[in-house]
Structure 1
Amino acid sequence: MSKLELSSILEEFSITELKFQEWKKYLLLELSKEQQTKLIKSLEKSGSIIKAGFIELEEKVNDLNELKPKIIAYLKKTLQTLPIQKTRKIKFSINIQTSTITIRKQLNSIIKKSIYQTSSDLLFESKIRSPKKETSELSPYQFFKENFHKRGIEITCLVIKSTIFIGHLKWVTNPLKDIKQDEERPVRLFTHGTSIKLARTLVNLSKIQEGDVLFDPFCGTGTILLEGLKQNLQAIGIDRDPKSVRASKANLNHFSMKFPSKERMKDKWSIYLLDSQNLNEVIDIKIGGLVTEPYLGPFIKELPTKEKAKDTMTMLEKLYTKVLQKSVEYLKTGHRVILIIPEYRYSQDYSIYPDYQKIAKNCKLEFQTKSTLFNVKLPVQIGRKHNIINRKLVIYTK
C-alpha cells in the first residue's frame, strides 16, 4: 500500500520514471534535492508511509576502518542544522539493518564512538537510546513520545550486499495526531468506520485537485470526507443508514468548529440520507473523484461455507454496480474511483471476492492493473492474509 501511495505522490511532481532499489521494507530512491524537499513536504498528508530520510554516506563494507572520520564529519554537519543549539542536548537512536552479526557489531561500535567524539568536539551532551543494544530503531509512537522530533536524531544504517548506506530520518508519521483525532470524534461506530490512515491514503490515491469535489456514496462516520476536507477538497456524502448520517454530520460539524468562521468550513461539505438512485436530487455538478469503503457484507467470526460466501459476493457485486453506475454519471472524464471490496475466506486456502473487472465493464470504467512506479499490482490486499474477511483496494478511471 505504501509503495502505491508513494507512486501517486511522486506522480504529482511529474515523475514517471525513477531509479530505485528495494531492500526488505526500505525503498532507496534517486531524487534531486528539489524533489527530496517536495517529497518530505508532501508526506505530511500521507497515510501509509511510515518514515523517510536522506542517505548521506555510501561506503563499501571493506572500508570500515575509514568510516569513523566520515561519520564524524557527517554528524558535525547535521548537528549544526538541528534546532538544539540552545539546550546543547541531543538524543540518538541507531537503526542498523544487516544480515551479518559481525558487521552489525562493528558498525554499532563505530557509530557510537563517532557520536561521542562529535559531541565532545561540538560541546553537546549526547544520550544514546538503549546503548547496550546493537540497534534501537524507534517506532513512530516512540519517536514522538520521546520527543525525538524536537531534540533527537535517528541514524539509519543499511548494509546491502557490499555497500553501507548511512543517513538519518527527516520525516516520521505522527500517530499521536491520529489518536487525538480519533478520540475527539463525537461519534465512532465500529462497523461503519474507515481508519484515519486508510482514509487519508484513499484520498491521496484519488488525485482529486484542491477545491474539487470528493464524493463518498457509503459515507459511514464521515472519515473519508473529513480527510478530504483536510486536503482542501469539497465533500459530499450519502448513506441510506440514518445512524451513519447522524454520525457523519456530528463528526464533520465537530471538525468544522476548529476553523475560523471566515473560512466557512461548514459550506464545504454536505451529507444526505439518500439512496444513490436519487443522486440528481442533491448533485448538480461534476465531481472530481469517488472514494469509498462500502458495505462489506455481514460481520462474521467463523469461516463461511463456499455457498454462503459466494451468495454474499454476488449480492455485493450487484450493490456496488448499482451504486457506481449512477454515481459515475457525475464523475469527470479521466477521473478516478477508489473502491474497497471484501475478500471472504471460506477455507484455509480459498477465498472469493466481487468480480471487480465485471463491475468495471458494467459501469463503463477502466480498471487500473498496476501503479505507474514500483510496479505495484492491483488490486492491493489490505490487512493480514489469513483474516476471515480481508479487503482489496481497486482503482478505476472513467
Structure 2
Amino acid sequence: MTYINEYAERIANEPFQNKKDKEIFEMRLDNYIKQKNIKGLTITKLNPLSHKQIQGRNLILWQGDITKLQVDAIVNAAKKTLLGGGGIDGAIHKASGGLLLRECASLCGCETGDAKVTKGYNLPSKTVIHTVGPIYYKDPEGAEVKLRSCYRRCLEICDEHHFHSIAFCLVSCGIYGYPVKEGAQVSQDVVTDYLNRNPNTSLTDIVFTVFSNADAEIFHQVFDRNVKKEKDGLKEGKVGIEQKKKEIEIKQQQEKEKEPKRKEKENQQLIQKPLEIMKTEEKDQQKEKEQKKELEQKKESDQKKEQQKRKEKQGKELEAKFGQEKSHEKPKDKSNEKYIQLTKENRKEKEKENDKQKIKVIPKKKENEQVKIEPQGKPKGKPKEKQMDKQPIKKK
C-alpha cells in the first residue's frame, strides 16, 4: 500500500465533527440536490464576455471565480488521486470544506480522460464534477483525445443526473501545460458536437469560465470566431440555398459538356494501353533475361571461389598432416646406414669377381682323361680344332 492510499484511508475514516456533517455526507446525491439552497451568482446575473446559442442552448463566456457560481455543477480540473492540489482544484476544496476531500478519498481516484461527481457541500453549486485532464508535455500528440474525453464525460454526467446548468474551467491549461488557445477550441468543438448529436439533452445553460485577463483575451477570440461561423451558416440556411442550387446546376451543365471529351480521352487511352503494355512486357522480359544471366554468372563465380577455397583447405590439411607425421617419425640410426652401404659395396665386388672367375667344370669320364677348363665367354678369332691325345689301346 502506498502513502497516498494510506492518506486517503485515514481521511475517509476520520470521525465527523457533528451530526449534520454525517447526515449530509451519507445523504444520497439526488436527495441532496433537491434540498440544497445556497445562494450565489446565478446565470441571469452574470455579465458575460460573449454569448451564443446552439440548438436553443445558451453558451456563455464569463470571467470570474468559478466557486461563486450558483449552477447545478461546476467542473474541477483534478489530479488522479482526487485529493486536492493547487490552482482551481485547491480553490474548490478550500471553498467546499473538509467533507469534499473526505468523499473524494472514498472514490479511489480517477483515470485521465474520465470524470466523477460529488456533492458541492459549502459551495453555491449543487455538485462538483471532477475530471482528470492530460499532462501536455508528457504526450502532446495524444493529449487532445484525452482532453476531448474529459469534456464529453462531464456532459454525459449532466444528462445522467438531469442537470440544467454547468460551468467549465480550462481543463489542463494551467500546470499541465496545455496551450490555452488549443484547449479553448477543443472545449468549443466538443460542446457544439455534443449538442448537435443530443438535441434532447437536459442542459440549457453552459458557462465557460476564465480567471486571468490573458486567458480571457485568447478564449474570447476563439469564442467569437465560432460565433461568426454559426452566423454565416444561418445566413446560408435562408439566402444561400438558392445560390447553392444555381451553382449545382451550372456544375451539372459543365459536366455534361465535358462528357464527350472524356469519352474521347478514354477511347484513346484504351488504344494506347495495349501498346504500352506490350512495350512494358518486352522491357520486363529483357530485364528478366539480364537478371538471369547475372545470377548465372554470380553462381559460376561463387562455385569457382568455393572450389578454390576447398582446394586451399585440402592443401592446408595435407600439409598439417604431413607435418605431424614427420614430427612423430623416429630419427634414423647412422650405424645402420653405414652397414647397408658396406653390404652393398661388398655385393658389387663379389659380383665382379664371380663374373671374372666363372668357370665351366667338365666331369671326368675316366681316370686317365684330361679335363680342360675353358674360361667363360666367347673365344677370340677362329675356333681351334680339338685334338684328342691318342692313347694306346690295351689288349685284353
TM-score normalised by structure 1 residue count:
0.21
Larger Rg: 2
Higher strand share: 1
TM-score normalised by structure 2 residue count:
0.22
Higher helix share: 2
